[in-house]
Amino acid sequence: MALLAQIVVRTCLGDGESTFRRMMAGAVGARPLDGIDADLVNVGAGYQITGTPAPSATELLLQCLAPMAEHSEGSRPVVIGTGLREVRPIERWAVGEGAVDAGCLDFGKDVTAKLPDLWPVTTISNACSASGHALAIAQDMVDSGEAAAVVAAGVDVVAASMLAMIGRVSQTRTARVRPFDTDRTGVLLGDGAAAALVVADDWTGPVVGRLLATGLSCDAFHETAPSEDGIVRAMRDAHRRGGRAAADVDLIVAHGTGTALNDPVELGAIAEVFGTADAGPLVAAGKGAVGHTSGAAALVSLDLAARTLTGDVPAIAGLVRPIAEATGIRLVRSPLRDATVNLVQVNAFGFGGVNAVTLLERIAS
């Protein structure tokens, strides 16, 4: 069984420590859209990482990966999950801004050039659950003995084509993400990157927690609409592979995108697996604070999950009036300071019905 040795994240609220501290204080990272004309894409805001110029996906990824190369003793495999890849240069080329080479799309060459000990590099493009899928592959590699340590990473920055699609289907412009709220108006993209070091049981260095399992499933239902059946299968796959019962889960870090479709379907799946007797796990969510970081989202949520093992749990930013499907489900409405959290479930779902559900357990000291 694998361990999570280290996790490094970068969101619009800073590094993992800063992001969590500001989440506990109720921070919301949404700001007016930068770098892409809001009127062109009909999206007015984003949870972007600022800078002059704004960092590229590759730059954010390399920042998170750099610590993973330490003590790597030769070669340490990396599996990178991304939703949109480094697609901005291609978009800029499409509208006559600069030249392009398709080799920039995946991150392999840049990682190998800058961090040669992190190798071989595999890039998977699995929409909004990409880094959850990367985590599953990394754990399978460690569990099978293929490698003693594997890095799972995730990254995305906002892209014009995806914004245009969000803007195209929006009735009103969304100002902030409001997971599970009756008055939610949709999702906003966030910039984010993360890297997690997955190691075998005999690891002697510091450890964040026990990585019990990541369950995977595909809805095989619809290109963009989620399906409760597919999500339930991923949750049960995680519980079965991790050897834990649903009743053992203390807290869920929900996918919680604040869209019309995701939120009721996700709560329906939670109700199916955990019941609605107000006795199930606490349900938290981070996207109200840091936006939807797409390919990085599963690992950004895993970092939040790891930090809740201390008993601190941030409230769901933007949640005022829960939707009807939340009846009997313990959404975290105000920050908790002394919650008992030993086992956390992380939900990540993506376009195409690709689902990854991870279980992280506290290791008794």
**Following CA atoms 285, 337, 280, 18 in sequence, which dihedral angle do they give, to the nearest 10 degrees?**
20
Single-letter amino acid, residue 270: I
What is the closest distance, in whole angstroms, from the C-beta atom of residue 315 to other proteins in the complex? Answer: 30
Q: Which of the residues 226 through 255 are near other proteins (CB under 8 A)?
A: 230, 233
Helices 297-308 and 16-24 pack at an angle, to 10 degrees, of 70
- Which residue among 31, 32, 40, 363 contacts other proteins (CB under 8 A)? 40
Q: Which residue, 23 or 159, has its beta carbon nearer to other proteins? A: 159
Whether the CA torsion 136, 140, 146, 149 is positive or negative: it is positive
Number of residues that bind other proteins (CB under 8 A): 68
Query: Quick check: 311 binds other proteins (CB under 8 A)?
Result: no
CB 304 within 8 A of CB 347: no
Among 222, 243, 311, 340, binds other proteins (CB under 8 A): 222
Q: How far apart are alpha carbons 223 and 188 in whole angstroms?
A: 19
Taking Cα atoms as reference points, which of 68, 342, 17 lies closest to residue 210? 342
* 24 or 164: CB nearest other proteins: 164
Least distance to other proteins from the beta carbon of 274, Å? 21
Query: Residue 102, interface with other proteins (CB under 8 A)?
Result: yes
Taking a C-beta distance cutoff of 8 angstroms, is the pair 190, 130 a contact? Answer: no
Contact yes or no for 81/302 (Cβ under 8 A): no
Q: ∠ CA 62-128-180 to the nearest 5 degrees? A: 125
Q: Is 100 in the site for other proteins (CB under 8 A)?
A: yes
User: In the complex with other proteins, which residue's Cβ is closer, 207 or 218?
Assistant: 218
Q: Is 119 a binder of other proteins (CB under 8 A)?
A: yes
CA dist 246 and 215 (Å) reads 13
Site stretch for other proteins (CB under 8 A), options 119-127, 298-306, 325-333, 336-344: 119-127
Asked if 156 is part of the footprint of other proteins (rule: CB under 8 A), the reply reads: no
Q: Would you tell me which residues interact with other proteins (CB under 8 A)?
A: 39-42, 75, 82-85, 87, 90-91, 93-95, 100-103, 105-106, 108-109, 112-113, 119-127, 133, 136-137, 140-141, 143-144, 146, 159-165, 167-169, 216-224, 230, 233, 350-354
